[in-house]
Structure 1
């Protein structure tokens, strides 16, 4: 270790180098250019400037990787991307684009895309809905549909806050699967309980899926859960107190998101990781499909 001038000298340790923070038995003169922790030659990963440690690369702080080495992976095994919010940005943009279309085309588009089990629509002058006319697409299109400015504003704000860290931790493909399946599960529970007359629209089911996944992820990383739990509790109170809110979508998405995230972040490393993660997503999706099919049979 370094000593101040004039201090006691240690013949054996005078020139001792720092030790790699991941391999305590290895001395090294290399430090991560991001966190400045000492790293050995096995741990160092080439970057545009100097070398970075595996943790900084894995969490997105760095972007380089050693030639011939395997691509750095996220906590859930996804590839580390140069833009960890790309999918989040696309989802926000897609929701905003659909909202603009509703402003341009009016209620006609809303009535065509909203989730409804089956009822006579005076606007369209027809019986519409999943059960009434086999319009299964409504279970998905309703997740991207908003009619009020305050509705899309708060949903997109939460999507931005929660989506970025989750996308960075899970990887793009896993994050997108989490969002879509959570949204579909929220639609399925709404369809089960609120169908056939009550309509539902909005990204809340998918957003609550991100809430559930955030809790699971933060617990896995042993982070302080209090901020996100308080925020979730406030939103749940609003869900059950405020009128006109489809609580079924919120609860369905929350449960689905937590289940999917648990399977993703707790899947065993190695070859079993991807099959376990895929099976978790597939199981949640199939349960939602079963709910939809069962409710449709009951209605028809």
Structure 2
């Protein structure tokens, strides 16, 4: 027997798995107000004179006046770096993109480039995620960032969304170093695939229909493996790290929510750096 979907009592078109802890009516994220235990609907909060209660996102973040500010800043940074690349030329690309390769010159001396050159080059793990060379590349990535990232920022809150984005970017870079260390790699795709993974986790957490996001994710994975000059390694690394971080954020128990959320971010970040360090050690050896 098919189970009937539960929808928000104020928005019948939105499925949800969350109920008000006082009246037990089903509520969607737009109708939730964080309480001492769980979430309450806005009517229950107003009835108990709870205007002092700070509205929270599903992940426990503060509800901001501009819920898309971080996404706008990320888009602006990518556009700014793209303009600088066009103005300065390939020299900036060579200084900021991601690759770890070592070789020998005609005298037999070993020469290393990228993060393999030394600790001073590890900034490439992050700067490569803000580099784009082709117009179609930055256009596609920034459209995806707005379509996927903006709603996710609204649901998670600024600080958690920012952590998710940057940890996913580092995770994507680490995967590239491990699986394709000699390939110059750039682009925000690793971080964006982390947002795709987080969106899937959010949809599952809220018991929404998973089919649209799974179809979209499947198409992107398919193109990652079939299009030429596309770093499937970075996409895979970002997807895995973003999914893990999102699970920690959205399924954290309320009693220890901050500890679990930020502990998960820190653990995934450290694990990504460890993978990168292993990859560099393999190249330099």
Q: Provide the TM-score with structure 1 as the length reference.
A: 0.76
- Provide Cα deviations, 1:262-295, integer angstroms capped at 9, x if missing partner: 100000113x100000111111111111111112
Aligned position for 1:156:
142
Offset at residue 73 of structure 1 (A): 0.7
Pair 1:277 & 2:277 matched:
no
Offset at residue 204 of structure 1 (A): 0.4
In structure 2, distance between residues paired with 1:40 and 1:198: 53
Pair 1:111 & 2:94 matched:
yes
Offset at residue 40 of structure 1 (A): 8.3
**Structure 1 residues 23, 177: CA separation in 2 closer, same or farther (over 3 Å shift)?**
closer
Secondary structure class of the residue paired with 2:63: coil
- Provide Cα deviations, 1:21-59, integer angstroms capped at 9, x if missing partner: 87559xxxxxxxx98xxx78752289xxxx9xxxxxxxx
- Provide Cα deviations, 1:94-148, integer angstroms capped at 9, x if missing partner: 001000100111111011100010357xxxxx85211124310111100000000
Secondary structure class of the residue paired with 1:205: helix
In structure 2, distance between residues paired with 1:230 and 1:170: 23
Secondary structure class of the residue paired with 1:115: coil
**Structure 1 residues 132, 71: CA separation in 2 closer, same or farther (over 3 Å shift)?**
same
Bigger CA radius of gyration? 1
Partner residue of 2:166 out of 157, 180, 183: 180
Offset at residue 159 of structure 1 (A): 0.4
Check conservation: 1:118, 1:133, Cα contact below 8 A: no
Q: Provide the TM-score with structure 2 as the length reference.
A: 0.80
Structure 2 counterparts to residues 58-137 of structure 1, below 5 A: 66=51, 69-119=52-102, 127-134=112-119, 135-137=121-123
Secondary structure class of the residue paired with 1:244: coil
Check conservation: 2:68, 2:154, Cα contact below 8 A: yes
Q: How many residues align?
A: 243
Offset at residue 229 of structure 1 (A): 1.1
Pair 1:191 & 2:193 matched:
no
| Structure 1 ranges of 4+ moved more than 4 A | 21-25, 39-42
Unpaired runs of at least 5, structure 2: 1-19, 25-29, 32-40, 104-110
RMSD: 2.3
In structure 2, distance between residues paired with 1:154 and 1:106: 21
In structure 2, distance between residues paired with 1:238 and 1:41: 46
In structure 2, distance between residues paired with 1:45 and 1:92: 41
Unpaired runs of at least 5, structure 1: 1-20, 26-33, 52-64, 121-125
In structure 1, distance between residues paired with 2:249 and 2:156: 8
Aligned position for 2:45:
43
Offset at residue 299 of structure 1 (A): 2.1
Partner residue of 2:155 out of 169, 180, 202: 169
